Chains A and B, each alone.
Chain A
Amino acid sequence: MTLAKVKEETDMNTVYDTAVDSRTQEMNSIKQTSNAIFQAKDFNLWYGNNHALQDINLDFNENEISAIIGPSGCGKSTFIKSLNRMVELVPIVRTEGDIVYRDQSIFDKSSTVENLRTKVGMVFQKPNPFPKSIYDNVAYGARVHGIRNKKVLDQVVEKSLKGAAIWEEVKDRLNDNAYGLSGGQQQRICIARALAIEPDVILMDEPTSALDPISTTKVEDLMHELKKDYSIIIVTHNMQQAARISDRTAFFYQGYVVEYDKTNVIFDKPKDQRTEDYVSGRFG
């Protein structure tokens, strides 16, 4: 508990620093400072012979929402799954180059992939709760990491469900199976589940593509709230969504990053013709 508090305080300081940083930074356009949480450096990825990601160089900032947009098959999901090394579940994957998370390569042998995934949580495209109770779903991460104390688990569950803005809806039926909830509620349970391990970064792979508009709005509002405490990287098919919620947007096309800039720049005055065509709906 004390450790968590200390962590929280340091996080708060970082938030403050970042706010100051980002103001000076805005004047320097997108020149990167050390507050990048993730840096892709000449990152390449192949599925067998298919060169899916080519020379990706991207820096993602702390306490921002970074959106990745692009047409189907452009590699955006592959890229976000590379950040927590989930892409390696596909056996034929091969990578080159590097991805740095807080000044350490994620491929560094001195740290384990489990450790990385504890710090970098993920919310998936389709709501995928476990066939367990709501409580057990949210407590899963904590339990996996060895927390057995019922009181601590209770607190983790409550805090995470509140953090995912679904506490009021489910607090009276925590022992019900999560499958009984609506799709939108299930997705917020999944977000709560990701928050429960107190990650540093949350990756979201098209989190609202299976949801109706009202649920989508709820999840988007939630992301605005989460931004204060977490850094979010989101893949989205929905350009309006990227425009609404993100601070920075990367446009992926055929495995390349075509353009990466502040979201308003990408949408209002993109430098590249392909970006302009895509965001104005001429293809994709």
Chain B
Amino acid sequence: MELINKEQVSKKLSGRLMVNKVMKFIFLLCTLVGLVVLATLLIDTILDGWRYLTVDFFTNFSSSRPDNAGIRGAIIGTLWLMATTAPIAIILSVGTALYLEEYAPKNKLVDFVKINISNLAGVPSVVFGLLGLTLFVRMAGLGNSVLAAALTMSLMILPVIVVASQEAIRSVPGSIREASIGMGATKWQTITRIILPASIPGIITGIILALSRAIGETAPLVIIGIPTILLFTPTGVLDTFSALPMQIFSWVKLPNPEFQSITAAAILVLLFILFLMNSVAIYIRNKYSKRF
């Protein structure tokens, strides 16, 4: 007695193959929707903005006259912001990740903290802007300085780097950890000599992706009151500054249609920097990724 009717099976085969093909097309369509929209956006921006990508555009400050408008203040301000944010964010978040993964006792409170760090990554940037305004601009009296903005940005990207670092640290196999400890190495020696070298690709990837989020973030800067038209560049972390996304945000509001194209040019610069940072992240990930 056969439980499977071979004839029935072969009859249904063509139907199954059909569904298989249809599903493939549906998923292809889903992918195309995203791709086409993004490509249109990019091409439109390039067509609109490429004419303004001149040397003057990079060396001039912002101006109310479209011909003179440039991004010197914005781009240098962005570099200042990143250069200040990066060390603060890296030290705080890698330190947090190391503590949580290596030192913290295993209990409910620590688990609770770990879960909430991931949740923190989903908090809107506006909220971080408000926190920065209250804490750093007002209470600490830093004003709308590079440092106040950098501290706000650091807080915002902290959970992203912490989570990425935690995952990188966790992916270091317990066996080589044990090997190190089994030879009388202290925890700190094991961390610096074994765990960090093995997890650094993942950590750096996380850092770069987080920084590339910070570089394009506008809302916190708006909230803590970063100026848009500034005719000087900062000379220290306590000076005020402007940044690329802020410049884009202010230009796009102007009625003069020529500014739309200038905005597009500034967007291209920002996109290029983002593209560069992501490429570095991918390069590092591929070059140093290790198989255990």
* A144–B183 touching, CB < 8 Å: yes
A266 contacts the other chain (Cβ, under 8 Å)?
Answer: no
Residues on A with C-beta less than 8 A from B291 are 179
* A130–B179 touching, CB < 8 Å: yes
> Taking A130-B194, A131-B292 as contacts, is the C-beta distance between A193 and B184 under 8 angstroms?
no
* A140–B180 touching, CB < 8 Å: yes
The B163-193 residues at the A interface (CB cut-off 8 A) are 173, 175-176, 178-186, 189, 193
Residues on B with C-beta less than 8 A from A32 are none
A217 contacts the other chain (Cβ, under 8 Å)?
Answer: no
B106 contacts the other chain (Cβ, under 8 Å)?
Answer: yes
* B176–A131 touching, CB < 8 Å: yes
A114 contacts the other chain (Cβ, under 8 Å)?
Answer: yes
Residues on B with C-beta less than 8 A from A115 are 184
* B175–A122 touching, CB < 8 Å: no
In the complex, residue of chain A having the shortest beta-carbon distance to the beta carbon of B174: A89
Per-residue CB contact flags for chain A residues 137-177 toward chain B (1 = under 8 Å, else 0) read: 00011011100000000000000000000000000000000
Roughly how many angstroms separate A84 CA and B105 CA in the complex, as a whole number? Answer: 22
* A193–B179 touching, CB < 8 Å: yes
Roughly how many angstroms separate A194 CA and B175 CA in the complex, as a whole number? Answer: 14
* A89–B193 touching, CB < 8 Å: no
In the complex, residue of chain B having the shortest beta-carbon distance to the beta carbon of A144: B185
* B175–A126 touching, CB < 8 Å: yes
* A131–B290 touching, CB < 8 Å: yes
A57 contacts the other chain (Cβ, under 8 Å)?
Answer: no
Roughly how many angstroms separate A194 CA and B176 CA in the complex, as a whole number? Answer: 13
Roughly how many angstroms separate A226 CA and B185 CA in the complex, as a whole number? Answer: 23
* B179–A190 touching, CB < 8 Å: yes
In the complex, residue of chain A having the shortest beta-carbon distance to the beta carbon of B182: A122
**Interface residue from A89, A131, A132, A140 paired with B183 (Cβ < 8 Å):** A140
Q: With both chains docked as a complex, state the minimum distance between the C-beta of B228 and any C-beta of chain A, in angstroms.
A: 48
B90 contacts the other chain (Cβ, under 8 Å)?
Answer: no
A124 contacts the other chain (Cβ, under 8 Å)?
Answer: yes
Best-buried of B176, B179, B189, B193 by chain A (most CB within 10 Å): B179
Roughly how many angstroms separate A248 CA and B271 CA in the complex, as a whole number? Answer: 70
Classify chain A's interface size: 20 to 34
> Taking A91-B105, A140-B193 as contacts, is the C-beta distance between A128 and B173 under 8 angstroms?
yes
> Taking A114-B186, A130-B194, A144-B189 as contacts, is the C-beta distance between A124 and B178 under 8 angstroms?
yes
In the complex, residue of chain A having the shortest beta-carbon distance to the beta carbon of B177: A89
A121 contacts the other chain (Cβ, under 8 Å)?
Answer: yes
In the complex, residue of chain B having the shortest beta-carbon distance to the beta carbon of A122: B182
B208 contacts the other chain (Cβ, under 8 Å)?
Answer: no
* B178–A197 touching, CB < 8 Å: no
**Interface residue from B106, B184, B194 paired with A145 (Cβ < 8 Å):** B184
Roughly how many angstroms separate A179 CA and B175 CA in the complex, as a whole number? Answer: 14
**Interface residue from A117, A128, A179 paired with B184 (Cβ < 8 Å):** A117
A118 contacts the other chain (Cβ, under 8 Å)?
Answer: yes
Residues on A with C-beta less than 8 A from B182 are 84, 86, 117, 121-122, 124, 194
Q: With both chains docked as a complex, state the minimum distance between the C-beta of A92 and any C-beta of chain B, in angstroms.
A: 9
Q: With both chains docked as a complex, state the minimum distance between the C-beta of B83 and any C-beta of chain A, in angstroms.
A: 32
Q: With both chains docked as a complex, state the minimum distance between the C-beta of A144 and any C-beta of chain B, in angstroms.
A: 4
Q: With both chains docked as a complex, state the minimum distance between the C-beta of B277 and any C-beta of chain A, in angstroms.
A: 26
Roughly how many angstroms separate A91 CA and B110 CA in the complex, as a whole number? Answer: 14
In the complex, residue of chain B having the shortest beta-carbon distance to the beta carbon of A113: B184
Q: With both chains docked as a complex, state the minimum distance between the C-beta of B43 and any C-beta of chain A, in angstroms.
A: 44
* A194–B181 touching, CB < 8 Å: no
**Interface residue from B178, B183, B186 paired with A141 (Cβ < 8 Å):** B183
The B235-268 residues at the A interface (CB cut-off 8 A) are none
Residues on A with C-beta less than 8 A from B176 are 128-131
> Taking A91-B105, A140-B193, A144-B193 as contacts, is the C-beta distance between A128 and B179 under 8 angstroms?
yes
> Taking A144-B189, A144-B193 as contacts, is the C-beta distance between A114 and B184 under 8 angstroms?
yes
> Taking A124-B178, A131-B292 as contacts, is the C-beta distance between A91 and B106 under 8 angstroms?
yes
Residues on B with C-beta less than 8 A from A126 are 175
Per-residue CB contact flags for chain A residues 101-138 toward chain B (1 = under 8 Å, else 0) read: 00000000000001111100110101011111000000
**Interface residue from B181, B185, B186 paired with A89 (Cβ < 8 Å):** B181
* A121–B183 touching, CB < 8 Å: yes
Residues on A with C-beta less than 8 A from B189 are 144
Residues on B with C-beta less than 8 A from A84 are 182
Residues on B with C-beta less than 8 A from A141 are 183-185
Roughly how many angstroms separate A144 CA and B194 CA in the complex, as a whole number? Answer: 11
Roughly how many angstroms separate A116 CA and B182 CA in the complex, as a whole number? Answer: 9
Roughly how many angstroms separate A193 CA and B178 CA in the complex, as a whole number? Answer: 13
Which 3 residue pairs are nearest across A and B when measured between Cβ atoms? A118-B184, A128-B175, A117-B184
Give me 17 A-to-B residue pairs in the complex whose CB atoms sit less than 8 angstroms apart, sorted by A's number.
A91-B105, A91-B106, A117-B182, A121-B182, A122-B183, A124-B175, A126-B175, A129-B179, A130-B180, A131-B290, A140-B183, A140-B193, A144-B183, A144-B185, A144-B193, A193-B179, A194-B183
